[in-house]
Amino acid sequence: MTIRVLVVDDSGFFRHRIEEILRDDKRVEVVGSAVNGREAVEKARALKPDVITMDVEMPQLNGIDAVRIIMRECPTNVLMLSSLTHEGARITLEAIEAGAADYLPKDIRAWMDKSQGIRTQLIERILALGSNRRFRSGSVFEHRHPRSKASTTSTMVFRPDSPTPTRPSARVPRSAESAERKPAPPVRREMPARTPAFRSPAPTAEAAGSTSNPAKVKFPDCRIVVIGTSTGGPAALQKILTAIPAGFPYPVLLVQHMPKTFTQVFAERLNQQCALEVKEAVDGDRLRPGLALLAPGGLQMMIDPRQTDRVRILEGDTKLTYKPSVDVTYASAAKAYGAKVLALILTGMGADGCDGARLLKREGAKIWAQSRDSCTIYGMPQAVVNAGLADEILDLEDIGPLLAKQSRKS
């Protein structure tokens, strides 16, 4: 079955370029185009596409408002196209809050280039979102919940409906001594690698795809929580972190595949919305309870192997596909904290995090994977689950409350 796409952009160049790329792939069918948000809503209702590519700034109705209407009236996976500026990042995150599933940078030079770079990225995202089929024929695709006979629906949209929680004003300043430390060993020494001596455990019921019952999940004995995600991650992280009160007894590391400008804006938005303190990590930041550090885009975040209460922010190996990489952060956590790590792998394309999860598992750490039905893209969690590395498979809505329970116990 081909994936049906509606292309929305007021720029003739971008509209035609997107259509040109998509029509070269037999797995994709361009069912229509629109030049403004109002026309996009009308054609989304009439054509019922599987995926919509959506510009942000358009006449009559902008992309964000169009997404809101589409998600309310005819839910569809939306791929936003936006600039890599601070303002572009802010607007894109607003679109994700409105219900968009993913985004691509709108860099005129990249789109004019006839090389395979932007073509590959666009096709990859369209195929992933279209194959996911959270929404079918203009209505929310329903999943039957394993713990209930009643079917439930999930659009995977997060909305900050509740008031912004009050956060303690105290902040722990960065120590000046971090600047005087000698450089850490090269990142490649910390990179995860498949170890022949370690065999993944045989797949359990969870590994076969069964979702865990949160009432029976035992919180592990840990000292740090590390969360990795990609496509759909902004919504998933906001859902989880806003459920956690300020008294969370562990430090949290967040790895979200994003460019540099986006991670800075995303950390600021999370910090406003959450009781936890959230900030984009800088080299030498201390780990402390109630603080979530977000890996900066274009760089790698590791736990300092010599001072395990600090993080290192490094360029990392140029050959790595992802910057930041979940594998890198997981691997450093395995070395620094061993079994005392709770790792979460959330929605995202590809398999980043699987090799790092293998190292964590070898050390005795616990790994929770997001369930298939609650993922925007079941790629990264699926890789971990299929490798037999997941201790629990949890619906997104259950993860935040399970973490929040630890604050009440502390």
pLDDT of residue 209: 62
- Average pLDDT for residues 358-381, to the nearest whole number? 97
- Choosing from 352, 391, 395, 398, the catalytic residue is 352
Contact (CB, 8 A) for 340 and 317: no
**Which pTM does this prediction carry?**
0.81
pLDDT value at 171 more than 50: no
pLDDT of residue 408: 65
- Choosing from 55, 257, 327, 371, the catalytic residue is 257
- Average pLDDT for residues 301-320, to the nearest whole number? 91
pLDDT of residue 227: 98
Side chain identity, residue 191:
M
pLDDT of residue 160: 33
Question: Count of CB atoms within 10 A of residue 222's CB?
Answer: 18
314 pLDDT tier (thresholds 50, 70, 90): very high
pLDDT value at 200 more than 90: no
Query: Where is pLDDT greater, at 160 or 56?
Result: 56
pLDDT of residue 135: 56
Q: Which residue has the tokens 């490649």?
A: 188
pLDDT of residue 110: 79
- Average pLDDT for residues 192-217, to the nearest whole number? 58
Comparing C-alpha atoms, which of 208, 212, 205, 202 is closest to residue 392? 212
325 included as an active-site residue: no
16 included as an active-site residue: no
- Average pLDDT for residues 224-250, to the nearest whole number? 96
pLDDT tens, position by position, 254-282: 999 998 889 999 999 999 999 999 999 99
Which domains does the chain possess?
A: 3-142 (3.40.50.2300), 188-409 (3.40.50.180)
- Choosing from 33, 82, 212, 230, the catalytic residue is 230
pLDDT value at 70 more than 50: yes
Average pLDDT, the chain: 83
Question: Count of CB atoms within 10 A of residue 42's CB?
Answer: 11
pLDDT tens, position by position, 102-129: 998 888 787 887 767 889 999 999 999 9
154 included as an active-site residue: no
